[in-house]
Chains A and B, each alone.
Chain A
Amino acid sequence: MQSADPVLLFAIIALVGLAVLFGAILGFASEKLKVEGDPIVDQIDKILPQTQCGQCGYPGCRPYAQAIASGEANINRCPPGGQATINHLADLLDVEPLSLDAESGVEEEDTKVAYIIEELCIGCTKCIQACPVDAILGAAKQMHTVITTECTGCDLCVDPCPVDCIEMITVEKGVNEWHWDLPPSTSRQLAGLNISDVITTDRARSKQDDAA
C-alpha cells in the first residue's frame, strides 16, 4: 500500500485531467455542432400573442416573428397583442416603439371570445376550418361549439359562417378575471382563462387549469 499522498495526488490529477479533456471535447463539439437556428426568432415568437390570426399579413405568429427578425416587417402589425406587445418587441430589438399599424387592424380593448348561437348553427364545419387554434368543436351536421379557453378572439371564424351564427362577445372582467397586466407571454395564460360560464362542458377543464 502506497502512502496516502501520491494516491491523493494521482486522484486529483486524474479527475482534473479527465474533466479538462471532456470539457475540451464538449467545447469543440459545441462549436462544431452549433445549431444554426435563430434564437431571436424564438424570442420574438414568445412575445407575440400566439393567436395565429394572420392580421399581420403572415400566416401565423412564427412566420411573422421570422419576418421581423429578418427585417422584412415592422413590429407594429399585431392588433391582438396591441401596444403592449409592440413595446416589448421594441425593447427586445432595441428600436423605437411604433404605434399600431392601422392597415393591420385596431387593438381591441377587451378580451373577446367567439360564441356560436346554437339554434342557428347548421353544422357546416366552415368555422372549424377557419379556426387557427382549433378552438371549435363539432362535426358535419352537428352543432358546433367554441372551447373558450382555447379561443383567442381573432374573429376569423365570423366571416366564413353562412348563417351568421357566430358572435364575438366581450368577456366581462369581474373580480375573477382581473389580472395584473403582465408581459404578454404570461398574461395570456392568466387572463381570461376562467371564463367557464360560456360553455358548460369546459368547466371541469378550466378548473383543472386553474388548479395546475
Chain B
Amino acid sequence: MTDLLIIFIGAVLVNNFVLVQFLGLCPFMGVSTKLESAVGMSMATAFVLTLASICSYLVNTYVLSPLGIEFLQTISFILVIAAVVSLSKMFIEKTSPVLYRVLGIYIPLITTNCAVLGVALQNTTRSHSFFQSTIYGFGAAVGFSLVLILFSAMRERIAVADVPVPFKGAAVGMITAGLMSLAFMGFSGLV
C-alpha cells in the first residue's frame, strides 16, 4: 500500500510529467488559455492516460513478453493509445456534446501527447506490476491535470495583465511555465 502511495505522489508532484520530465508540453501550452477547456482537456487526458497505461501493461505482459518481441513496445503502445483515444472521443461525443465542442480537435491530439506514451514506456522500464502501472498512470494524469489547470488559471490572469509587448502571448506563457517548473523542482526529495 505504501509503495503505491509513493508511486502516486511521485508521479503527481516529484516526477511531474509536464513540469519535471517535460512530457506533454503541447497540450500544456496549447489548451491552457481558457480554464474551461483546460478542465475538459485534463479530464479527457486523465481518462486516456489511466486507460492507456492499463491496456499497454496488459499488452506488454500478455502479448509482447511471452513472445519475446519487446522491441515492438513503442509501435504497439501507439496502437493501444490510438485505440483508447478513439474510444474516448466516441464516449465524449456521446455523453457530453458540449465538452466535445469545447475540446474539438484536441481529443485526437491526445494520441500524440508524449506523456501518454511516456507513462506506458516508463511502466515497462520500471517493471511495474498491474496495480503499480495503473496508479502510475493515474498519478501522471492527476499531475498533468493539476499543472494544466493551475497554469490555465494563471494564463487567464496574465491575459489581462500589462505585459511588455515583446513578452506578450506565448512568450510570457513560456516564462510562467519555467517558473512553475522551478517551483515543482522544490518537491524533489519529498519521496
Report B182 CB to chain A, min CB distance, Å. Answer: 36
- From B75, B91, B97, give the contact of A37 (CB < 8 A): B97
Q: Which residues of A contact B91 (CB under 8 A)?
A: 29, 33
* Docked-complex contact B87 and A26, CB < 8 angstroms: yes
The answer to whether A11 and B93 touch (CB under 8 A), given A22-B80, A22-B83, is no
Contact B83 A14 (CB under 8 A): no
Q: Is B72 an interface residue (CB 8 A)?
A: yes
Q: Does A204 contact B (CB under 8 A)?
A: no
- The docked-state distance in angstroms from the alpha carbon of A146 to that of B32 is 32
In B57-114, which residues have CB < 8 Å from any A CB?
59, 63-64, 67-69, 72, 75-76, 79-80, 82-83, 86-87, 90-91, 93-94, 97
Total residues of chain B contacting the partner, CB 8 A: 20
Distance of A34 Cα from B91 Cα, bound (Å): 9
Q: Flag if B94 contacts A14 (CB, 8 Å).
A: no
Contact of A10 among B69, B79, B90 (CB under 8 A): B69
Identify whether the interface residues of A are mostly helix, strand, loop, or mixed: helix
Interface residues of B in 24-75 (CB under 8 A from A): 59, 63-64, 67-69, 72, 75
User: What CA separation (Å) do A158 and B51 show in the bound complex?
Assistant: 57
Q: Report the separation of the CA atoms of residues A18 and B86 in the bound assembly, to the nearest whole angstrom.
A: 15
* Cα-based distance from A35 to B86 in the complex (angstroms): 14
Given contacts A18-B59, A26-B87, contact A11 B79 (CB under 8 A): no
- Interface residues, chain A, CB within 8 Å of chain B? 2, 7, 10-11, 14-15, 17-19, 22, 25-26, 29-30, 33-35, 37
16 contacts between A and B (CB under 8 A): A2-B68, A7-B68, A10-B67, A10-B69, A11-B69, A14-B64, A14-B72, A15-B75, A17-B63, A18-B76, A18-B80, A22-B80, A22-B83, A26-B90, A33-B90, A34-B94
Chain B residues proximal to chain A, CB less than 8 Å: 59, 63-64, 67-69, 72, 75-76, 79-80, 82-83, 86-87, 90-91, 93-94, 97
